[in-house]
Amino acid sequence: MKEISLDYRYTQGIIGDEEIEQMMVYAEMAETILEEGDGAGNDFLGWKNLPASYDREEFERIKKAAQKIQSNSDYLVTIGIGGSYLGAKAVIEALQNPYGEPKTKVLFSGNSISGTDLAQLVEFLKDKQWSINVISKSGTTTEPAISFRILKNELESKYGKEEARERIYVTTDARRGALKTLCDKEGYESFVIADNIGGRYSVLTAVGLLPIAVAGFDIDKLMEGAGSSMRDMREKQGKNNLCRLYAALRNILYNKGKHIEILVSYEPRLAYLSEWYKQLFGESEGKDGKGIFPASAVFSTDLHSMGQYIQDGKRVLFETVLRINEPSADIVLPEVEEDLDGLNYIAGKTVDEVNRIALEATATAHLSGGVPNIIIDVPKWDEYHLGYLLYFFERSCAISGYLLAVNPFDQPGVEEYKKTMFRMLGKPGY
């Protein structure tokens, strides 16, 4: 089966071969630190071997729970914030037909403090059959805790406490925390957030797998792809090791003043994959006054809004582009008798062919304007290749963080707004 590959031709003139060779030496050293567990944050490396070492018994329970939810619920409300929802939402939106009708639709709550959104969700669910998957290590994170308190009350009012117990699924710490205490008291079915896996690295755990399975996608294939990625990145050397190569290219560009990376896709369904990527890299690298700022765009849509700045604005940008080689579906542009829109010159081509030419033209134009492009080629868009890509990004991010000499696995800055908010709300102890 074909795996992903990197095309960095659109960095020529900005990055030289000698620079790549030099930075690859440092990337290999960073990967050795990662593999041997000698670096900062080494208590949070559980994701690294996860595709081989995941709990098979829990994995089967996840699939059974998903089948149960599909049998009795039109909707699963997944409650979580940050890594507790972004990975699942990214995978589901990337794979599902946006115009289709899934057997059970996965909704997301607890990722904001919008009273309007929560009130409208409660109203929407009143005449629906639904269940909850609440995801929180502690159970006290403000946004999901608010959502869970309200939605749990609504679920119990609709079904009664006994049936509600059968419709609440908890993903939390194995031993401690407010949510774990409630789970044990009420007897909810529960799944584990491992102590050694941070939220932004958790998509291939129960955190992401249960909602993804409920949405109808093959989590066996997802894990198979992640496993292939893990093996490839350990076994391949030099430029064939794509994680080292990608981390090296990013850091060369960073050292040249390219401080903003735009993850670009040419498929609207990949917008939330970009949101997951932004948390992964932003929270991992953005500390100690360092880090590449992660941004995103969907082309060609955003070429009509941000294209001017990317082409001619401040030269602090580079792009990483996801190129899907085999589309999930396609359509041929017909020839018409009256060529009023002037499109007969491309009649007979598929829309995806036009999209791919737009990608090549944009990369060429942006490079001419001083914006290099790293292209990630994905052979096919399915669970296997998405699993491969997710692990590739996770491992690349860790290597890149060590190249920057930061801890890729903590997030001290995230706590600052919480302390101020708690103090302003009058929370005891603040």
Instruction: Let me know if 283 is a catalytic residue.
Output: yes
Catalytic position from the list 3, 154, 189, 283: 283
User: Active-site residue 221, yes or no?
Assistant: no
| Contact between 398 and 34 (Cβ < 8 Å) | yes
Out of 290, 418, 419, 427, the active site residue is: 418
168-172, strands of its sheet edge to edge: 105-109, 75-79, 130-135, 168-172, 189-192
Q: Is 70 helix (H, G, I), strand (E, B) or coil?
A: helix
Q: Where are the alpha helices (DSSP H) in 178-326?
A: 178-186, 206-214, 219-235, 242-255, 271-285, 307-312
Integer Cα distance of 90 and 159 in angstroms: 31
The DSSP result for 294-311, as a single string, is EEEEETTGGGGTTHHHHH
d(CA 397, CA 408): 8
Closest alpha carbon to 254 in 278, 283, 285, 298? 285
Q: How many helices (H) and strands (E) does the chain have?
A: 16, 10
Alpha-carbon distance of 351 to 341, in angstroms, equals 15
Residues labelled as active-site residues: 283, 418
